[in-house]
Each structure stands twice: as structure tokens, then as C-alpha cells.
Amino acid sequence: MKQRKIYSFGFCLFLSLIQSIDTTLCLAKLVPDQIRLAFAGDRGANIGWHSFGCPLSTSNPNPTPTVIYGFSKTNLNFTSINGNSSFYDTRNPLRISWFYHVQLPNLQPSTLYYYQIKQSTYVSSSDILSFQSSPIVGDQSRPINLITYGDFGVDGLVEDLVNGRHLFERALGALQKMLPMTDFFLHHGDICYADDSPEDLFLTYEEAFNYCQSMMTNITSSRFYMTTVGNHEINCTEIPKVDQLCSSVHQNQIPYSHRFHMPSEQSGGYLNSWYSFNYGFVHVISLSCESDFPNSPSGNLLDTTTQINWLKNDLSHVNRNVTPWLIVQCHRAWKGSVAKQDKAEHGVINCPSCKDAFESLLIQYNVDIYLAGHVHWYERICLNGVVNTTQYVNPNGPVYLINGAIGSPEGNDKLSQRSNESCFLTTDPGFGYLTINDRNHATFTYYRISDMAKLDQIDIIKNR
């Protein structure tokens, strides 16, 4: 995926003034950090990471990003240079942030791989890390387990007052306890909340993003971490457009497009905005609820039809005998209760334009589960919108789960109006854990972070 390089006039002037300076100012080796995994087709993995450039240098310190990997720590005998590097204007006058992505192709299924970012002249090697590759598409030999949430970011002043100090770190600790039982993550948008940086005691946008992703590395370097775009990625509207806080280059999902690399190429999608992937007997679709459909909340990166046409095509090609479970994630909910902040600021209940664009297709193609965030609580919509039960037997549409309560700088929401369709709602910080047991049965559990209590649990049963 080729990324755009976005510069401001001032940044271009800065580059021209120091263009003669090379990497000789690297007195110590640079360190790769913010390491993250993503699926890259049915048999591939994408390894992404960040490193700073050498001080006062515009040269790429690692022009040929390389990952070595293998079946044991002592025998990393495969090498991949199938990657790219990019940067954008981060408003740091002293050093550039570089973002790297390398694909590992043709992996053996359900296999433990060890990998290492290889050192270069100016960049040190990473630790030797590991991940489990995807099972064969259609493999139903074991259950599939994934963690789901949206709206996760570094603590802010509001969150500290509401939920106590260090919720971000406590949430990470809870997630790490679940790693041995987890295959991959779905993050339904609003990643790190860098544009809420004044809430983080006036970290700049980039400092907040870098701190957040560095802290998450233990998770993202060992499990596939699949994201979708939220309003905090596509826009930077929470704080004034002040140079070091939230400049124009932090809009139009530019940082998100450089930092993450979802399997859009392999699935015919666009950037990290919409894409799909298979994992065993599950097919997952990730959509943009921010752009590229009629009356979208954040305008369009392309147009109002390309994403919808892509979704129709993707859904029509899913073989439900091979991947019987079909899950869609998108940032915004279009069902559920109303938060006081949303009603006060926008006067709009949920996202009616999202519903108009996508819901009929999800029902037509029998999508099993719809996962969203945006609203900072956990809410479960009743079976068929009316039946209060924890046994969702053959629902006539997707099971709707709104899951944006894990913790953000803004704190969790306060209820304005409870929906008649709502069967469970809590503002206690937590996350979802979805187990696809077999082709007919899935279990969803909402865990509270503070004590890992199961606050809600449902079974989804499909007689296929």
C-alpha cells in the first residue's frame, strides 16, 4: 500500500534547510517500537512498527525494512523485505517519525512463528517476538476467541475523576491476562484519542499517540489487532487547530493511514477504511461509519457509492458453508440509547445515515453480529429488538452490541434516554469476549475491568 506524504509549507521549508544533513547525527542506534500485527490475506501477516529518524535528518534510517522469522527463536531462517516505509508531518522540528510495514507471505496455517525486526545501520533489532498464524479458511476443529471494544485511549482528566487514575494501564493489564485465550482483537474505532491530548495533561497529538501505541505493544505484537476508523481518526476536531496540538495534517485519517495496515489490498477495500478477512470459519468485515456513504458524518475520502458497492460484492461472495459466521464491525451504532453528550452536541440519536446505508444489506445477507463503539458504554440490543432474553436463537437480523466503554480520556457517557430496544446497559469500564464455539453457537461476554466480573453474557444460536 503506497501512502501519501503530507507536508505543510513550514515543514517543507524546514526540510529544505536541513536537506544536506544526513544520518551521521545518529550517535546511538534507533529503537523500533509500537510493533503491531495485522492479517494480510488468508495466509499472510503484516508486521508494522515505528521508529524515529536521526536528529535533524530527513533520511530514512531504515530504507529496506526487513523482518526475519521462523519456527524457533534460534532459527529465524526466513526473510521478508516485502514492505514499505512512510512518514507524515508530525510537527516535530527535531526528528521525523517513520512508519514501516512488512508482509510475511505464505505462512503455514495454525503455526507458531517467531519474528524479529532486523537491525540496520542506524536501527537496532527488536526483541524476538511470536504469533500464531491463521487457521485454514473453513477450519472448524476448534473454537475461535476474540476480544472486542472501541474507544480506547490514554487516561484524561475527565476519566481520572470518573473512573480513577490509570484506567488505561489497568485495562491493558486485564487484556494481557486474556491473551493466552485470545486469537485476535477487533477495535471498533477511536484508537488512542490523540486529538484529546489536552485531556492528557497537554501531551501533543503525536506524543499521546506514540505513548498509547508503545504501551499496547505487548498486545499488538503478539495478537492480530484489527482496527476500523472512528471519528477521532478521520478528523481532529476535539481541540483547536493549534500547531503542536492538532494541526491540519492530523485530519482525513492521515496518521491512521500511516500507522496501521489492514488487509484492504487483499480484500479489494480502501486504505484502512473498509476491508475484510477470514479466520477459520469466521468472515469479518470492517466498514467506515465515518465516510463514503450518503450523508456520512465526516464527508468522503472517495465518494458515496464505492464502499457500499464493495460491501455488496464482499457479502455476495461469502461462502457460508466455509465461513458460516459473518461479523461486521463499524465505529458508530445505529440502534440503542441516547447519551447526554450526543444529544446536547448533535441532537441526533445514533447514526441514522449509517443505518440507511448499511443495515438492509446486513439483514439481506444474514450477518450474525454487528459490533460498534462511539457511545461510551456497553449496551446489548434485545433479540429482534423486542425480546428480553440471553438466548438469541435464530435472530431475524444481526445481534447488535455497542461496546465503547473500555476507557477513553473523555470518560464514559451518561444516559439521556433509554431505548425500548435496549436489554442491557452499563457504563462500567470493560470489554467484550466473543467465542465462536462451532458453526451454530457463539457466546459473548462483557467483562468489567476492575474485577473481571462477567456483567453480561449471551448465547447466539443459529440453526444453519
Is the per-residue pLDDT at 6 higher than 50?
no
Convert the pLDDT of each residue in 102-159 to its tens digit: 999 999 999 999 999 999 989 999 999 999 999 999 999 999 999 999 999 887 555 5
Average pLDDT over residues 378-394: 96
Q: Residue 196 above 70 pLDDT?
A: no
Average pLDDT over residues 330-342: 86
In this prediction, residue 382 carries a pLDDT of 97
Predicted confidence (pLDDT) at residue 15 exceeds the cutoff of 60: no
pLDDT of residue 148: 99
Tell me the pairing of strands 325-329 and 369-372. parallel
- % of the chain exceeding 70 in pLDDT: 84
Is residue 239's pLDDT more than 90?
no
pLDDT in tens, 47-80: 999 998 888 888 898 999 999 999 999 999 999 9
Q: What is the pLDDT of residue 53?
A: 87
Position 21 confidence tier, pLDDT thresholds 50, 70, 90: very low
Domains of the chain, start order: 9-132 (2.60.40.380), 144-461 (3.60.21.10)
pLDDT, position 341: 65
DSSP letter string, 95-157: --EEEEEEEE-SPPTT-EEEEEEPP-SSBPPPPPEEEEPPPPTT--SS-EEEEEE--EE---H
C-alpha distances in Å from residue 3, one per residue of 19, 261, 272: 22, 10, 11
Residue 326 has pLDDT above 70, yes or no: yes
Across the range 90-99, mean pLDDT stands at 80
Average pLDDT of the chain is 88
How many other C-beta atoms lie within 10 A of the C-beta of residue 384? 14
Task: Report the candidate in 120, 110, 55, 109 with the shortest Cα–Cα distance to residue 85.
Answer: 120
How far is it, in rounded angstroms, from Cα 450 to Cα 436? 25
Helix (H) / strand (E) containing 309: helix 306-316
pLDDT more than 90, % of the chain: 69
Instruction: Tell which residue, 89, 462, 364, has the closest CA to residue 250.
Output: 89
- Which residues have a Cβ under 8 Å from the Cβ of 235 and sit 6 or more positions away? 195, 251, 252, 290, 298
Q: What is the pLDDT of residue 238?
A: 54
Q: Parallel, antiparallel, or unpaired for β 97-104 and 129-132?
A: unpaired
pLDDT at 313 over 60: yes
Query: Which of 3-7, 204-208, 252-256, 404-408 shows the lowest per-residue confidence on average (mean pLDDT)?
Result: 3-7
What average pLDDT does this structure show over 94-103? 91
pLDDT higher for 163 or 189? 189
pLDDT category at 194 given cuts 50, 70, 90 is confident
> End-to-end distance of the chain based on CA atoms, in angstroms?
38
Model confidence band, residue 200 (pLDDT cutoffs 50, 70, 90)? very low
pLDDT (0 to 100) of residue 100: 97
Which pLDDT belongs to residue 17?
Answer: 41
Residue 181: the pLDDT is 98
Which one of 24-38, 124-138, 333-347 scores highest in mean pLDDT? 124-138
Cell of 135: 487457521
Which pLDDT belongs to residue 347? Answer: 52
